Chains A and B, each alone.
Chain A
Amino acid sequence: MSTRREPEHVALLQGTLNLLILRTLVFGPQHGQGIARAIQQKSEDVLLVDHGSLYPALQRLESQGWIKARWGISENNRKARYYELSAKGRAQLNHQTSDWQRLTGAIGRILGLEQG
């Protein structure tokens, strides 16, 4: 089911979903469906996110205190659970982002894709 794969899609690297969620929430509170859509659009539909797999990740982030949740009303008047970045989450995002950049930079250099 979750292994459904279409040619133009790339499966997520393990652990990167957290980073993507935190990054999406930088622009303000968002509900689960909004986050899923945002990740899909930003990645220009390259990354495949099974919407359902978002929820365990959201629970984990919430229990770690990186994001906070409360029920609110969506733009089209639907009750939805909104997630918001906490101060701790923001710090975590900065930390993980720089980690990620160093990692990809290093891998890129090894693969010879990035010059100098």
Chain B
Amino acid sequence: MFWRRSQKDFDDEIRAHLELEAQQLLREGAAPADAYYGARRAFGNVTRRQEWFYEQRRILMVRDFISDMAHGFRQLRLNRSYAALAIVTLALGIGANTALFSVVYAILIKPLPYREPERLARVWMDNRRLQMKEDWASWLNYQDYKKLGTSFESMTAFSNSGANLTTDGEPESILGVRAEAALFDQLGVRPHIGRFFTSEEDVAGKGDVWVIGWGLWQRRFGGSTDVLGKKIEMDGSKATIIGVMPPGFRFPTKETEFWSPLVVPDGAKRRVGYWLQMVGRLKPGATMQNAQTEMEVVGKQLELQYPKENAGYGIYVNPLVNHVVGNTRTPLLLLLGAVGFVLLIACVNVAGLMLSRAEARGREVAVRAALGAGRARLAILMFGEAVALALIAGGVGLMAAWWGVKALVMLAPADLPRLDEIGINLPVFLFGLAVTVLTALLFGMVPAWRIARINLNEALREGGRSVAGSIGGQRTRAILVVAECSLAIMLLAGAGLFLRSLFRLQGVDPGFRTNSVLTMQVVASRTKVAQPPQVLEFHQRLMEKIRGLPGVTGMGSITTLLLSDTPNSGTFTLEDRPPFPEAEQIEATSDIASAEFFKTMQVRLKYGRFFDDRDRMDGPRAAIINATFASKYWPGQDPTGKRFVFGMPRERNPWITIVGVIEDMRRRGLHREARLEVFAPLTQRPARGTQLLIAVNGNPMALAAAVRSEIRALDSLATVTKVSTVEAEVGTTMAARRFQALLLALFAMLALVLAAVGIFGLMYQSVSRRTHEIGVRMALGAQGSDVMGMMLRQGLLLTATGCTIGLAGAFALSRLVRGLLYGVGPADPVTYVAAVLLLAAGAVIACWVPARRATRVDPLVALRHE
């Protein structure tokens, strides 16, 4: 192609032409002296042709852009403070964006480690009785889902399981699942070593085989391959390890550490009894929407066919990825958007800086233009500098991102999915690079656009001044200020809404004591503590021992203090009204609490009494209900003495008497109201596993070791897990909100500072460009205060315009995050006013300093000002 042709080749051709023409002229009889000149005359301007060729190549050569960039680097070296300011600003923006993107990538974008993960879905029973969209299913319902769900290529079931490991070191309780053998093939995974179990092993008696997770393998077996075939003991039962999963495999949750065959006893093959979770693989070409529609029909059909068992139970199909990602998508995208705004503000700042530099170079640019550089060429020259800046900033930003990622992982709530996969990897690096290039285009555009519009004649005639102070320059500057203000206000308002939500939430009364309470989950071993009376004795002796420890003021226990998403619950019948029709049945949660639980946790009693010695094993069944339960059925009345049962009253299901009503406890997180809750006394329902709550004077964690050794002394095979404080446990329910609010606040502060610096810079330039004008005004009698007023008015008018646009934007965007707020509306006036005041304060300072400078202008100097 012709642009690969060298200049020399072209020059050679022209020389050849001239010689050929001269020879021809000689042959035609010209005098030798005239022939050469004749040839040149016929050719026209030789140098012009050569230059034309040169220019043609130049536009097309990337090499020239690189030389522009080199020019850019030289310029940066000459203006270090300008370069440093621009680079720090951009690096902050690029670094923050890259770091946050690493989180977004790991959680939302990186495919799940299964074969064609987009075809995998979790299938749930949609429990309308309990408003639980993701509930477990019964065996016979699962069989029907499987048979009737034609959108699915395959469907398999599994169920939660747990074990107390009692060999090879400290007893430890771990979580796992029992699954059908087809699960692994359906997911498309391979074991790291060993094998999976087969469908033959799905039968009782043969099912004592385990596939273990990477974490358990490393922690307890030192990652040794000897583990295959090893027999492990779990509190009386045994199993053989047959395989180890690779590190990234955490199905269905990251807490899952073993997988064993789902053995279904014949007694469990029923229509009721909800214990199965399902995962399905869609047929190729089927969509999640198809599957959901189809399964809804299946659900309706089963409701009609088995009204007694299935009324109120539908089917819900949810893509597996949603289950993994959870509810982190919206907050993460929100944070990514927020950090994008920070980068935009950084770009506007640097655009402002470059604009002033471009204008200061107005004369140089004009001279270049006069010497024949095209406008496009000049614009590219500005871009060269922009790219040079962005590349340095990108490098610094990536380093900052490396630290940023570490900080983010540290700050992130522990239950953030795929937390350990967050890091700087190739896609994240490429994103950082793309952001860098985009940044250069964004902030390089403004000066390039201005340069392309410089009026050459004026620029050359009057030197730099008219270019610099031109109307166009002022207008561009005004637009930049408005843009910065509106972006900053959106971030400030957003952060404000989240912070207010968090404060509101922290002010919520949970209904139980949170400070200075040590807590841990204890499971007594089946081997040492076999029968209910022994379990009760274990609890009583444990309480005596622990109460004897110094600093302990009380101890209670409950199944679990905070409720999981799938708590133990059931439908019920009230004695004083007819049984509810199936469609109206709702469920109440059921927990077992010790008599001392309520006193230790300072739960308030509304009616009746707490549990006491009257609630003996052989006495009438007693229960405490919460206020929500009481007011639903007996509003304004004291329901003590009323009776109910879980399920239907039968001979072996005796009536339970309500002995007390407690005020609600927010056991599902502070942001959620309590639902219908029932508590049974430990003395009547001794449970091997329970959560201890130990109120202490002083630091709760300091007592943990002593409590643990007391437990060990009573039962050497008991497992102790989740040692923490109630305060920390409640805190984890707010961890995600705290993380979001913290990051947003950080970004908003960054935005505020950047915007203030940007406004300051732009106003400062504006003042210095208008020195001459100010001089004229003062010479004509304007006072210092007039000039200052003028400058302030100008700055604040722009700020106000920016605020207005920003508030409108914030209002529009806040609707998207309504679901993430607590106790504040998306249009919370307090937040908006505070955001405006904060920005206004920043803007006043940013305008005041340059305005002061304007008043100190000496008219004589100013008039001579170039």
Contacts and interface: CB of A to CB of B under 8 A. Distances in A.
A52 B24 contact: no
Interface string B30-47: 000000000000111110
Contact of B49 (A31, A34, A56, A74): A56
A51 B49 CA distance: 10
A74 to B, nearest CB: 6
B44 A2 contact: yes
Contact of B56 (A33, A59, A78): A59
Contact of A52 (B2, B20, B48): B48
A55 interface: yes
A59 B20 CA distance: 20
Contacts of A76: 20, 23
B220 interface: no
A32 B49 contact: no
B20 A33 contact: yes
B24 A37 contact: yes
A16 interface: no
Interface string B187-225: 000000000000000000000000000000000000000
Given A37-B24, A52-B44, A78 B52 contact: no
Nearest to A76: B23
Contacts of B12: 79, 81
A31 B56 CA distance: 22
Contact of A31 (B20, B45, B46): B20
B532 to A, nearest CB: 94
B2 A78 contact: no
Contact size range, B: 20 to 34
Interface in A48-97: 50-53, 55-56, 59, 62-63, 74, 76, 78-81
A31 B49 CA distance: 17
Given A2-B44, A56-B52, A76-B23, A51 B17 contact: yes
B13 A50 contact: no
A52 B13 contact: no
B2 A63 contact: yes
Interface string A1-37: 1100000000000000000000000000001111011
Nearest to B2: A63
Contacts of B16: 31-33, 74, 78-81
A76 B16 CA distance: 12
A52 B23 contact: no
A52 B21 contact: no
Contacts of A59: 2, 53, 56
B42 A51 contact: yes
A36 B42 CA distance: 10
A59 B7 CA distance: 13
B702 interface: no
Looking at B9, B43, B45, which has the most chain A CB atoms within 10 Å of its CB? B43
B428 to A, nearest CB: 42
B44 A51 contact: yes
Given A56-B52, A62-B2, A63-B2, A51 B23 contact: no
Contacts of B49: 52, 55-56
A62 B2 CA distance: 7
A85 B43 CA distance: 23
A12 to B, nearest CB: 13
Given A31-B17, A37-B24, A52 B45 contact: yes
A81 B10 CA distance: 9
Given A32-B17, A63-B1, A80-B16, A50 B24 contact: no
A36 B13 CA distance: 14
B14 A74 contact: no
B44 A78 contact: no
A79 B2 CA distance: 19
B460 to A, nearest CB: 25
Contacts of A37: 21, 24
Nearest to B22: A33
B172 interface: no
Given A59-B53, A62-B2, A74 B42 contact: no
B168 to A, nearest CB: 77
Interface string B417-460: 00000000000000000000000000000000000000000000
A36 B16 CA distance: 13
Contact of B20 (A1, A56, A78): A78
B296 interface: no
B53 to A, nearest CB: 7
Nearest to A55: B49
A20 to B, nearest CB: 16
Contacts of B45: 1-2, 52
A80 B24 CA distance: 14
Contacts of A78: 16, 19-20, 23
A19 B10 CA distance: 22
A82 to B, nearest CB: 10
A79 B198 CA distance: 83
Contacts of A79: 12, 16
A76 B24 CA distance: 10
B5 to A, nearest CB: 8
Contacts of B52: 56
Interface of B: 1-3, 9-10, 12-14, 16-17, 19-21, 23-24, 42-46, 48-49, 52-53, 56
Given A36-B42, A51-B17, 17 more contacts: A2-B44, A32-B17, A33-B20, A34-B20, A37-B21, A50-B42, A50-B43, A51-B42, A52-B45, A53-B44, A55-B53, A59-B56, A63-B3, A78-B19, A79-B12, A79-B16, A81-B12
Q: What are the 4 A-B residue pairs with the smallest beta carbon separation, nearest first?
A: A52-B44, A50-B44, A33-B20, A51-B43
6 contacts: A32-B17, A36-B17, A36-B21, A37-B21, A52-B43, A80-B16
